[in-house]
Structure 1
Amino acid sequence: MTTLGAVFLPQLPPERLRAVARAADDAGLAELWLWEDCFLESGIASAAAVLAWTERVRVGVGLLPVPLRNVALTAMETATLHRLFPGRVAIGVGHGVQDWMAQVGARVESPVTLLREYVVALRALLRGEQVTMDGRYVRLDKVALDWPPASTATIYVGATGPRTLRLSGETADGTILTCATSPEGVRRARGLIDEGRAAGDRTDAHSVVVYLLAATGPRAAERLDAERRRFGYDPGQDLGVAGDARAVAGAVRRWADAGADTVVLQPLSDEPDPEGFVRFVAREVQPLVA
């Protein structure tokens, strides 16, 4: 079964989050996803607020840039959210935008090495293990959480390139793909993830989450085209969907058929009604997908 979600864009001011979160929860949206984009809003602080304001919606953070965060801190924050709100949070980590990492003095020479060390250490800490690591970037000396999650914590990796997709398959529990991923791109990503899983002798489940640009209402197709141009996407690429609930649900099914377990609808940057968007996803699109 395909899980459906929606994004709260951090380009909106933080004070808008409460109304959008409550609208999502009241409408029965399965998942609300948040971003930690520089220099907008904190992923962890936003997730904690949404979880406290709501009763049932699952919250995803996709993603936390690892150069900004000591892995022990990320483990502590993730474990705290899992203990406070069991089964309602999913955390993704990734390289971060390298220009932003350079701006804050956190850019590293080998982002892939950092991410590998980080994910290995993070998952071990969240399993309640005592971790000692003397890596190129991650160094821990007998570190263990006093309050690890009471149940398994799923860690996603945000990935685009082949090396990171293979790394995600080998080390993570799931992968997050950007809105620049077509259905064919999902298939290719699945293949690379499976290569990594084979290299790591992984036989457990690996969930793939993909963001999908979506526009509805007046001038939906025109607005979607403008958003594609803003992101620098080729107009001929199979990216995004515009139309009513049936059109959007049909697109969700195409991305799901290509290998996405969760499709997260990403509103356009000019979306005039964020609360209305999450209600549309939950009440009109979700039933058609289910």
Structure 2
Amino acid sequence: MSTVGAIVLPQLPPERLLDAARAADEAGLDELWLWEDCFWTSGLSAAAAILGATTRVRVGVGLLPVPLRNVALTAMEIATLERMFPGRAIIGVGHGVQSWMGQVGERVASPLTLLREYTTALRALLRGDRLTVTGRYVKLDDVALDWAPVDTSVHVGASGPKTLRLAGEVGEGTLLTAATSPAELTTLKARIDEGHAAAGRTGALPVVVNVLAATGPDALDRVTRELHRFGDSPDAPVTDLAVTGDAGEVAAGLRRWFDAGATTVLLQPALDEPDPVGFLRFAAREVAPLLR
């Protein structure tokens, strides 16, 4: 089944977050995703508050920058959420923005090595394993969770070819950023599948992709400005990187990402979205039913 979710950007003040989440929950949104961007809001504390204030929406954090967080602490936090709100939390991990990691003194020499060690250990702890690990970055001495979750999964955020392969090797799903065209998604998914096969793993992995979206009379102008914030000039046409228009037009555009291999598409608002709560309702009530 194609899953349509939406993103609440960290630029939304924390005091407005619960009202937005309740509106998304009441509107029937399947998944509401948060970012842990420096230095805006904490992903896990915000997720916990939303889960406690809603009844059905699944809450994703995409993603937790692993240099910032000890792996045992992250496992404890994820396990707590899963035990309290079974099946409703989706957690992604990744490198984090390297300049931000440098600002807080946590930039590492080999982000790929850290992500491999971290994701492998995190998944094992969440399975209930007892670990002693002496890696380059991850070091654990006889560590196990007393309250391991019944079931959980760890997604890996990826963009470069090596990280994409790693996501296929050690992740239980992959998160892809906005400004990924459907054609590029096909190529990226092939990298993920290569890593998946090389690790001897079977079964399809979820692929979650953010897609910039806007509705209203100035929608195209707003997504165009947003895409230029990602870089000097997008290589692909705007229509290959974003969706705009009414619900029918947005749904038709999103089908291209599903056809290219996405299992979940998250509508990402522009920074100048005039009505963040209305955007969530639009995604839930008008767009998602057209794709179910």
Query: Which interval holds the TM-score relative to the shorter structure?
Result: over 0.9
Superposed, 1:74-223 pairs within 5 Å as 74-150=74-150, 152-223=151-222
Which stretches in structure 1 are left out of the alignment for 5+ residues?
Answer: none
| C-alpha distance in 2 between matches for 1:231 and 1:173 | 27
| C-alpha distance in 2 between matches for 1:71 and 1:89 | 17
| C-alpha distance in 1 between matches for 2:236 and 2:2 | 26
| C-alpha distance in 2 between matches for 1:91 and 1:111 | 19
| C-alpha distance in 1 between matches for 2:61 and 2:105 | 23
| C-alpha distance in 1 between matches for 2:235 and 2:272 | 19
- How big is the shift at 1:241? 1.0
- How big is the shift at 1:218? 2.2
Instruction: Please give the secondary structure, in 2, of the residue aligned with 1:212.
Output: strand
| C-alpha distance in 2 between matches for 1:226 and 1:204 | 39
| C-alpha distance in 2 between matches for 1:197 and 1:236 | 28
- How big is the shift at 1:234? 1.3
Instruction: Please give the secondary structure, in 2, of the residue aligned with 1:247.
Output: helix
| C-alpha distance in 2 between matches for 1:14 and 1:116 | 32
Instruction: Please give the secondary structure, in 2, of the residue aligned with 1:96.
Output: coil
Contact 2:181 2:236 in 1 (8 A): no
- How big is the shift at 1:235? 6.2
1:167 is aligned with what amino acid? L
Contact 2:24 2:280 in 1 (8 A): yes
Contact 2:64 2:92 in 1 (8 A): yes
TM-score when normalising by structure 2:
0.98
| Structure 2 residue 47 is the aligned partner of structure 1 residue 47 | yes
Instruction: Please give the secondary structure, in 2, of the residue aligned with 1:5.
Output: strand
Contact 1:18 1:50 in 2 (8 A): yes
| C-alpha distance in 2 between matches for 1:284 and 1:200 | 40
Structure 2 residue corresponding to 1:271, chosen from 259, 270, 273: 273
Contact 1:229 1:235 in 2 (8 A): no
Q: Which residue does the alignment assign to 2:287?
A: 285
Which stretches in structure 2 are left out of the alignment for 5+ residues?
Answer: none
Contact 1:225 1:235 in 2 (8 A): no
Instruction: Please give the secondary structure, in 1, of the residue aligned with 2:128.
Output: coil
TM-score when normalising by structure 1:
0.98
2:261 is aligned with what amino acid? G
Instruction: Please give the secondary structure, in 2, of the residue aligned with 1:203.
Output: coil
| C-alpha distance in 1 between matches for 2:109 and 2:51 | 36
Which 4+ stretches in 1 moved above 6 angstroms? none
| C-alpha distance in 1 between matches for 2:181 and 2:132 | 40
- How big is the shift at 1:242? 1.1
| C-alpha distance in 1 between matches for 2:39 and 2:221 | 29
Instruction: Please give the secondary structure, in 2, of the residue aligned with 1:91.
Output: strand
How has the CA–CA distance of structure 1 residues 235 and 110 changed in structure 2, closer, same or farther, with 3 Å as cutoff? Answer: closer
2:189 is aligned with what amino acid? R
Q: Which residue does the alignment assign to 1:37?
A: 37
| C-alpha distance in 1 between matches for 2:182 and 2:58 | 25
Q: Which residue does the alignment assign to 2:250?
A: 248
2:201 is aligned with what amino acid? R
- How big is the shift at 1:186? 1.1
